[in-house]
Amino acid sequence: MGPAVPAGARLFLALTLCLAAGAAEPEGRPAGRKVLPPPSNLHYSFGQLCKLKWTWNPPEGMNSGCDLEYCSEILINGIPQENREWSRNLFREEDVSLNEEAHFRVRSECKSDNTSEPSNWVEISTPPKGAAGTAAVGINCTWYNLEYMVCTWLPGQNASAGTNYTLYYWYDGLGNNQQCQNYIYGDNFGCNFSLSIQNSTDVYPTISILIRDNSEEIRPVCANRNPTTIVKPGPPRIVTASMIKDEMHIEWQNPGTFPPHCLVYQVELKDSKSGSVQQHDIKGYTEAWFPSVHPNTVYVVKVRARVEGTCYSSNRWSDWSEEKSIGENTDFTFYIGLILTVPLTVAVATIILLVYLKRLKILIYPQIPDPRKIIKRMFGEQIEDFQSYPGDDFLNVRKPAMEEEIHYLVWIENPESSTSDNEDRERPALQVKAL
């Protein structure tokens, strides 16, 4: 008969047999599993800064045979957050952001028991305070040098101008909340507080940051940060920079209290002549030698630091250290060039000056008629000249007496200008001799 049954029918048969066996197993129990009663008296309270604590009582009317557990989860704005948790505790405490609606739900389950169904969910929600869009946004915190924390933020879109946001912080081990005192007013709002966490356990607690305003209108907002992910070292300080022959030695200081193996440094050498840049990563040491650098070249050196992934999971580089110049520019062609160009420039400048002075003289003292010609004209050839130069209207029109006067004036000026002319003509000849 077996081979006659089609494959589909066989699968169906197998399934019904399976289901029958499963139903038969709980000895004499009615079909369908028993639904557990839910936890009772669920409520919430605000714990430490940015923490909400939900508490409840055990379900009523439980049979003793059940290994009871509570399954709970938190929905943010109605969306499950993959934070479902099973525990025997009668409470759950979580970090929340406070600016969104947190919806908490819990139910009872019997562990390793397939005879009962989990209970229905019991739910409670915590609506945010204040008006939408008034909470601080863009919160960005940096832990500088394991010494102080700087957080910046922007005012919410709907927050009134002049909203005075206040920052509070807390971490496990601090005791009470602290209010940040050192505010920064710039492009962003910000606050700076000292934060040095004892490293006894090597496990840093989460830092809770609450930013709010005293006005009920402004919505508070919480940011919870793992400090090791936001570490930024301070800039290192170069203490030695020396060049011996063609080997450069640079030494700098650990910028803070980081264990030596926790820092990676980057040394940048910039060749000031060619502008070429070399970057070298140095792990665990605070000095380095660079062989075969170009002698006769000035290098500009700077160093920055970053934490190692094995110690802290942050990849922010520190700012660069101050720059140090090292090396000497003993380039001989430069000096030879200098020795040659200085006198050359002076010579050229002198020549230009002389030419210029000469031109200036021509401008100040316009060309003067040759005195010999004038004398010739005055005595003897005067009449002939008047006739032989009929085009000379100027002289023709004027009275002879006037003409004589003009000539006389010219005569007075003449010797001075002719002597200075002679001097000028002689000087270059002298200079040539001197050279």
Ligand X SMILES: *[C@@H]1O[C@H](CO)[C@@H](O)[C@H](O)[C@H]1NC(C)=O
Q: In what order do the strands lie in the sheet with 231-232?
A: 182-185, 189-194, 148-154, 137-144, 231-232
Q: If DSSP codes are grouped into helix, strand and coil, which group holds residue 302?
A: strand
Report the residue number, 158 or 272, with the smaller CB distance to ligand X. 158
Question: In angstroms, rounded to a whole number, what is the distance separating the alpha carbons of residues 274 and 253?
Answer: 29
How distant, in Å, are the alpha carbons of 287, 289, 305, 396 from that of 242? Answer: 12, 10, 21, 90
Burial 161-185 (b: 16+ CB within 10 A, else e): eebebbbbbbbeebeeebebeeeee
35 φψ region: left (φ > 0), alpha (ψ -120 to 50), beta (else) = beta
Q: Which of 114, 242, 329, 420 binds ligand X (CB under 6 A)?
A: 114
- Shortest Cβ 285–ligand X spacing (Å): 16
Report the residue number, 56 or 258, with the smaller CB distance to ligand X. 258
Q: Name the packing angle between helices 371-378 and 400-434 (round to 10°).
A: 150
Q: Which of 125, 199, 279, 296 binds ligand X (CB under 6 A)?
A: 199
Is the CA virtual torsion 314, 319, 320, 321 positive or negative? Answer: negative
* Residue 132 touches ligand X, criterion: CB under 6 A: yes
**Binding span for ligand X by CB under 6 A among 158-166, 168-176, 336-344, 361-369:** 158-166
Report the residue number, 197 or 326, with the smaller CB distance to ligand X. 197
* Residue 178 touches ligand X, criterion: CB under 6 A: no
* Residue 173 touches ligand X, criterion: CB under 6 A: no
Q: Which of 48, 97, 116, 142 binds ligand X (CB under 6 A)?
A: 142
Query: Which residues fall within 8 angstroms of residue 236, CB to CB, at 6 or more apart?
Result: 252, 253, 254, 255, 265, 286, 303, 304, 305, 318, 321
If one counts every other C-beta atom within 10 angstroms of the C-beta of residue 258, the result is: 19
* Residue 163 touches ligand X, criterion: CB under 6 A: yes
Report the residue number, 115 or 278, with the smaller CB distance to ligand X. 115
- Shortest Cβ 5–ligand X spacing (Å): 27
* Residue 226 touches ligand X, criterion: CB under 6 A: no
- Shortest Cβ 13–ligand X spacing (Å): 21
* Residue 260 touches ligand X, criterion: CB under 6 A: no
How distant, in Å, are the alpha carbons of 15, 53, 172 from that of 110? Answer: 27, 24, 33
Report the residue number, 132 or 336, with the smaller CB distance to ligand X. 132
**Binding span for ligand X by CB under 6 A among 119-127, 160-168, 221-229, 410-418:** 160-168
Q: Site map for ligand X, 67-106, x if CB under 6 A? A: ----------------------------------------
- Shortest Cβ 46–ligand X spacing (Å): 23
Q: Which residue has the CB atom at the shortest distance from ligand X?
A: 133
Q: Which of 89, 164, 240, 242 binds ligand X (CB under 6 A)?
A: 164
- Shortest Cβ 148–ligand X spacing (Å): 5
Residue 372 per-residue DSSP state: H
CA 383 to chain centre: 95
Question: In angstroms, rounded to a whole number, what is the distance separating the alpha carbons of residues 380 and 304?
Answer: 98
* Residue 166 touches ligand X, criterion: CB under 6 A: no
- Shortest Cβ 229–ligand X spacing (Å): 11
Task: Show the beta-strand stretches assigned E in 134-175.
Answer: 137-144, 148-154, 166-171
Cα angle 354-359-364, degrees, rounded to a multiple of 5: 125
From first CA to last CA, the distance across the chain in angstroms is 133
Question: In angstroms, rounded to a whole number, what is the distance separating the alpha carbons of residues 401 and 412?
Answer: 17
Closest to 59 in 3D by CA, of 125, 116, 127: 116
* Residue 25 touches ligand X, criterion: CB under 6 A: yes
Q: Which tokens is 403 given?
A: 């003409």
* Residue 343 touches ligand X, criterion: CB under 6 A: no
Q: Which of 125, 157, 278, 313 binds ligand X (CB under 6 A)?
A: 157
Radius of gyration of the chain, Cα coordinates, nearest whole angstrom: 49
**Binding span for ligand X by CB under 6 A among 72-80, 154-162, 378-386, 413-421:** 154-162
Query: By rule CB under 6 A, what count of residues binds ligand X?
Result: 21
- Shortest Cβ 303–ligand X spacing (Å): 19
Q: Which of 257, 278, 296, 382 binds ligand X (CB under 6 A)?
A: 257
* Residue 162 touches ligand X, criterion: CB under 6 A: yes
Q: Which amino acid is located at 201 in the chain?
A: T
* Residue 115 touches ligand X, criterion: CB under 6 A: yes
**Binding span for ligand X by CB under 6 A among 34-42, 155-163, 375-383, 384-392:** 155-163
List contacts with ligand X (CB under 6 A). Answer: 25-26, 114-115, 132-133, 140, 142, 148, 150, 157-158, 162-164, 184, 192, 199, 202, 257, 259
